[in-house]
Amino acid sequence: MPAPQKIIIDHLLIAQHASPLGPLWSTWTKHGLFQLNWQTPPSNHTQRETQAPNNQAESLDALLHDYFQGQKVAWHELVLDPTDWTPFTQRVYRHCLEIPFGSTVTYKQLAALAGNEKASRAVGAAMSRNRILLVIPCHRVVSASGNLQGYSAKGGISTKHLLLELERHGHWPQDLFAKT
């Protein structure tokens, strides 16, 4: 597997990772993984070299490769940058990280785990602002009825459905990559 493509911008490390749903981009700060998503990072920054070494981009690349092969992965070895997260959001994300691979919890259940069972809407808002997709598995959070609701990543609810199917069955749906 080739090493992730890297760009260093203003003390940020930006790496591109292959995925079956299109390239993923990770942004790293000195505090850890700041962002992981399918949106191309802005290119309006002046590039300059930095001495911020980060071998975690390679670790993330290997984890993503395994994940997209349908394997259960442990994201816990990655250091996450919690900059701008409120204490409630930190609790929500910490408990979201504990949702087992292939399982789901409701927004209300996650709110209760985070210390306020009446804060399901606040949990939904935290999930919609999740900037570290897959690692903080907001796709595993569903409505009280069990229905899929909202996913801010590329493809929306369809992507959320595909990720849950991958986790539950260990492979992509047969027709996902069929040529039409």
* CATH assignment at residue 55: 3.30.160
Compute φ and ψ for 104, nearest 5 degrees.
-135, 155
Domain identity same for 136 and 155: yes
Active site amino acids: 138
pLDDT tens column, 67-118: 999 999 989 889 999 999 999 999 999 999 999 999 999 999 999 999 999 9
- Same domain for 164 and 103, yes or no, is yes
Residue 101, domain extent: 87-169
82 part of a folded domain: no
Domain with 126 in it: what CATH number? 1.10.10.10
More confident residue, 166 or 175: 166
Work out how many domains the chain is built from and give that number. 2
Task: Tell me the percentage of the chain whose pLDDT exceeds 90.
Answer: 54
Confidence of residue 126 (pLDDT cuts 50, 70, 90): very high
Q: Is residue 156 part of a domain?
A: yes
The full DSSP string for 40-85 is: PPP--SPB-------THHHHHHHHHHHHHTT----GGGSPB--TT-
Q: What is the DSSP letter of 132?
A: B
